[in-house]
Structure 1
Amino acid sequence: MSFVPSKSSAAPIVASVIDTFIAPPCLAQIEILFEDEAILVINKPSGLLSLSGKNPLNLDSVHYRLVQDFADARLLHRLDFGTSGIILVARNKHINGLLTQQFQHRSVTKTYQALLMGKLSADSGVIDAPIAKDAALFPRLKICELEGKTALTEYQMLSYCEQTDLSRVQFTPITGRTHQLRLHSQHIGHPILGCDLYGGIVEGSKKPVRMMLHAQTLAFTHPLTDERMQIHCPCPF
């Protein structure tokens, strides 16, 4: 039986995409790397959501935990569920607005470390590959020259292990698109180890305990003192 909408229907029927992901419990704790009256800089553990999900089973998150002690805490940016490392947090609305301007002007700089599958053909370079959404791919994104938004990533290979066939790489994202480092790694043929969305799991092999991506440095100007700050969080893998 087919459904034919009545002529009185005012709005088109749009198929919604349902996220069925349920995060397993995360026992690891958030580490506070820096704290004052204006900001927090924290180390997010892998396996913890940045923000609580719509599903009530995904309540636990960085934000949910922080507001228990810092009632007006506001995340300036997010890290993917499997990514560990530095997140900058404003402690009130005013500070959030000041720091948001720094992100918009790209005066906040970040570096990440990752383990990529295989050996890179070049020791360094820039990945220029626009990123677009596609409902059919949800929750994945795609590289698309026509529809994508500009996405730029600088990379530097730090080392290569022949025994494991893994490259340790430092990433410096110039833009901050969702899944940028994960998708750009796949784009150059070297997915991040443990990345289940973009080819980081070898079929038939044991899945790594986590995604091997870590936000290791964050540099910004303190919103009250104008001091240029650089926070470092050592890579745990």
Structure 2
Amino acid sequence: MTSDVRTFTVREDDDGIRLDRWFKRHLPDTSFNTVSRWARTGQLRVDGKRATPGDRVETGQTIRVPPPEAPPAKPARPEKRIVPLTQDEQAFVQEMVIETAPDAFVLNKPPGLATQGGTKTNQHLDRLLDGLADREGNRPKLVHRLDKDTSGVLLVARSARSAAFFSKSFSGRTARKVYWALVIGVPSAEEGLIDLPLAKQPGTGGEKMHVDEENGLPARTRWRMVDRAGNRAAWIELQPLTGRTHQLRAHMAALGHPIVGDAKYGGADAFLTGGISRKLHLHARRLKIDSPSGVIDVTAELPIHFAESLATLGFDPMAGDHLPLDNPDPARDPEVKKQRVAAAAKQRRRERKGERRSRGSTPQPKGRRK
């Protein structure tokens, strides 16, 4: 509207400056692009004549400026639509619970269920945790995760305080975890320690890991062979001493024995014939972890496809639980060692700083001047 047009008179201290400079001084919220557009469309005038941003103004001239433009409206952020759980979904997550503790629920996650949501992943465990909320509506909190196709023990904290406690246990490597896996072929030894650093494989968008001796993060896995089916397959117990993404899958593939059903790391060679399921055969069998109210030590039953594969290969399901649970050895973890070295150096710096302060505050004995 013309009534909103603004007019300004050039003052003496603005005499001779460029028009775009005048805008910077007096209308700083008006961008150069806007001034240029006004000039091109004839809306910007000096003493009634069309003007350009490079024109110089003189004292007493009148500058005609179009009405201020409203900032472009930001697109409204779509509201996150919360879809309440159905009765079947509530029953589904409640049936996963294999132990209830004062500070946590322990679940047996089925294969095929993602732990958290993501692109095109609408159904996941984190959403289903609404079905375990208390009367006040406080829902459990994830403190660690399992891959979508990995089954087994998964702990969720019942409060923010217990979540912080458990998160520290997992990051500090004090939680002890046992996985069962069926692998292609038979390792040459009965047991071993895989110590191979892992990094995200370039070109996979972070979806796949690979061994990288130069840039990889430390990754260590202890393994033992429970039983073997000739030279065809082996039943392996795995105890991760670090917690890298896809660590067990990448380590077993690097050992030359990919986990059965793991096409991502084993390709076409990761499958067995003879009625063995093509699903991933990796199961979080046991978790032992301290909690604020005591020790939690839980074992999760195998999913149907894994149990059937053990039976088909002639394995005794009871054999795997007789192996001892190793204590983690954080002192051998390079990351933990690095943290300890840094902490010790920091303590030494504090001590030296304290010594300098104490020397500075000690009165010196007076002596005779020579």
Match of 2:221 in 1: 153
Alignment CA distance shift 1:209-1:29 (3 Å): farther
| Bigger relative contact order, structure 1 or 2 (CA pairs below 8 A, ≥6 apart) | 1
Match of 1:59 in 2: 122
**Is the CA contact 1:117–1:190 (under 8 Å) kept in the aligned structure 2?**
yes
Match of 1:18 in 2: none
Q: Which one of 250, 270, 277 corresponds to residue 208 of structure 1? A: 277
| 3-state SS, counterpart of residue 72 of structure 1 | coil
Match of 2:240 in 1: 173
1:140 and 2:140 are equivalent in the alignment: no
Match of 2:170 in 1: 103
Alignment CA distance shift 1:157-1:204 (3 Å): closer
Q: Which amino acid aligns with 2:131?
A: Q
Match of 1:23 in 2: none
**Is the CA contact 1:153–1:175 (under 8 Å) kept in the aligned structure 2?**
yes
Q: Which amino acid aligns with 1:44?
A: K
Quote the Cα distance in structure 2 between the aligned partners of 1:68 and 1:209. 31
Shift in Å, 1:73: 1.6
**Is the CA contact 2:184–2:271 (under 8 Å) kept in the aligned structure 1?**
no
Quote the Cα distance in structure 1 between the aligned partners of 2:270 and 2:160. 46
Shift in Å, 1:131: 0.5
Shift in Å, 1:111: 0.3
Alignment CA distance shift 1:221-1:137 (3 Å): same
Q: Which amino acid aligns with 1:60?
A: Q
Shift in Å, 1:204: 9.2
Q: TM-score, normalised by structure 2?
A: 0.53
Match of 2:291 in 1: 222
Match of 1:69 in 2: 132
Gaps spanning 5+ residues in structure 2: where?
1-88, 307-370
Rg larger in structure? 2
- Map 1:88-127 onto structure 2 (within 5 A): 88-127=155-194
Coordinate RMSD, CA, aligned: 2.2
User: What is the CA deviation profile of residues 82-135 of structure 1, one whole-angstrom value per residue up to 9, with x for unaligned ones?
Assistant: 100000101121111111111122110100000000011111000000010134
Alignment CA distance shift 1:116-1:203 (3 Å): closer
Quote the Cα distance in structure 2 between the aligned partners of 1:160 and 1:42. 29
Shift in Å, 1:231: 0.6
Alignment CA distance shift 1:201-1:84 (3 Å): farther
Q: Identity of counterpart residues, as a percentage?
A: 32
Number of equivalent positions: 206
**Is the CA contact 1:129–1:152 (under 8 Å) kept in the aligned structure 2?**
yes
Quote the Cα distance in structure 2 between the aligned partners of 1:162 and 1:204. 16
1:46 and 2:111 are equivalent in the alignment: yes
Shift in Å, 1:196: 1.5
More strand by share: 1
More helix by share: 2
| 3-state SS, counterpart of residue 269 of structure 2 | coil
1:190 and 2:257 are equivalent in the alignment: yes
| 3-state SS, counterpart of residue 202 of structure 1 | helix
Quote the Cα distance in structure 1 between the aligned partners of 2:98 and 2:269. 35
Match of 2:230 in 1: 162
Quote the Cα distance in structure 2 between the aligned partners of 1:169 and 1:192. 9
| 3-state SS, counterpart of residue 67 of structure 1 | helix
Quote the Cα distance in structure 1 between the aligned partners of 2:270 and 2:262. 12
Alignment CA distance shift 1:218-1:203 (3 Å): closer
Q: TM-score, normalised by structure 1?
A: 0.81
Quote the Cα distance in structure 2 between the aligned partners of 1:132 and 1:228. 33
| 3-state SS, counterpart of residue 163 of structure 2 | helix
Alignment CA distance shift 1:200-1:233 (3 Å): farther
**Is the CA contact 1:194–1:201 (under 8 Å) kept in the aligned structure 2?**
no
Alignment CA distance shift 1:217-1:204 (3 Å): closer
Q: Which amino acid aligns with 2:212?
A: C
